[in-house]
Amino acid sequence: MNAETGKKERVGTIVKQRWGGYASGIERARGFTLIEMLLAISIFAMVIAVMFSSFRLGISAWTHGERDIEYHQRIRAVTDVVYRLVSAAYPYWVTPGELDTHESCIAFFGDPQGLRFVSYAPFQKSPSGLSLVDIWYEENRGLLLGQTMALASNLAELDKLPVRDESSTTLLSPDVQGITLRYFDKKKRDPQGEWLERWDPRDKNIRMPRMVEATLRFTDERGRSFDETLLIPIMSNLL
């Protein structure tokens, strides 16, 4: 205490160190503060790193999710088109030739890789209301759809229609890497029926298949492949 002023004067506390010498309490306090700051910076850096990693993983998952949603929407659109076209197959009668008019058959032709028929619900509107439709797979392109007006009275005229010309062709999906078709035939006296790989109307006694099985193979951008199978009833058979 200062005798003249009556006030206490405090000086820095002197701490004797083990290795000799003395250090003030003020200097020691400053040393602990620096260590705490370094620890805080380290913890903050780790938190930022974890947050950034989580954010990056979240963005990646969101991006893949958006791609998957868009991809499945495209698949749904393609399968809906195929289902609508095939189910609306129309019994369009043609004769074998111009001179051979005593027999008629329904214009519905099918094999394992494609089918051709007349539909009353075409992909694009037709002035005549009925369109000749051709669905097939082409390597390096995908699933293709050809459509033209159904203006033919015999098979020869039907074969000349430009259903596969570039001007009449639409690319339904480049994601399709293959198609397999089967046709269900059921005669009146055959309650079981049978699946056929081909359908030729000239030997089917004026009838169409009761049902078409279409298996589409899709491949996405990551190379994953899977099959989508459609069982499509021919609605005109139910009338």
Query: What DSSP string describes 110-157?
Result: EETTEEEEEESS-SS--TTS-EEEEEEEETTTEEEEEEEE---SBHHH
Strand order in the sheet with 194-196: 194-196, 176-185, 211-219, 225-233
Q: What is the pLDDT of residue 133?
A: 96
The chain-wide mean pLDDT, for the chain, equals 82
SS3 80: helix
Residue 32 lies in a domain: no
Q: Is 206 left (phi over 0), alpha (psi -120 to 50) or beta?
A: left
Predicted confidence (pLDDT) at residue 145 exceeds the cutoff of 80: yes
Residue 93 lies in a domain: yes
Highest mean pLDDT: which range of 21-25, 93-97, 172-176, 184-188: 172-176
Predicted confidence (pLDDT) at residue 220 exceeds the cutoff of 70: yes
Residue 29 lies in a domain: no
Q: What is the pLDDT of residue 3?
A: 46
Rounded to an integer, the average pLDDT of 76-94 is 94
**Integer Cα distance of 139 and 142 in angstroms:** 6
Q: What is the pLDDT of residue 19?
A: 46
Q: What is the pLDDT of residue 124?
A: 80
Q: In this predicted model, which residue has the larger pLDDT, 61 or 75?
A: 75
Q: In this predicted model, which residue has the larger pLDDT, 27 or 156?
A: 156
Residue 60 lies in a domain: no
- Answer whether 0.75 is exceeded by the pTM: no
SS3 162: coil
User: Which residues touch 93 (CB under 8 Å, ≥6 apart)?
Assistant: 104, 105, 106, 107
Residue 27 lies in a domain: no
Q: In this predicted model, which residue has the larger pLDDT, 221 or 76?
A: 76
Rounded to an integer, the average pLDDT of 210-215 is 96
Q: Give the domain range for residue 205.
A: 71-238
Residue 56 lies in a domain: no
Instruction: Render pLDDT for 102-135 as a digit per residue (tens, 0 to 9).
Output: 678 899 999 999 999 999 988 887 777 899 999 9
Residue 136 lies in a domain: yes
Q: What is the pLDDT of residue 14?
A: 46
Residue 129 in contact with residue 156, Cβ under 8 Å? no
Number of domains in the chain: 1
Residue 46 lies in a domain: no
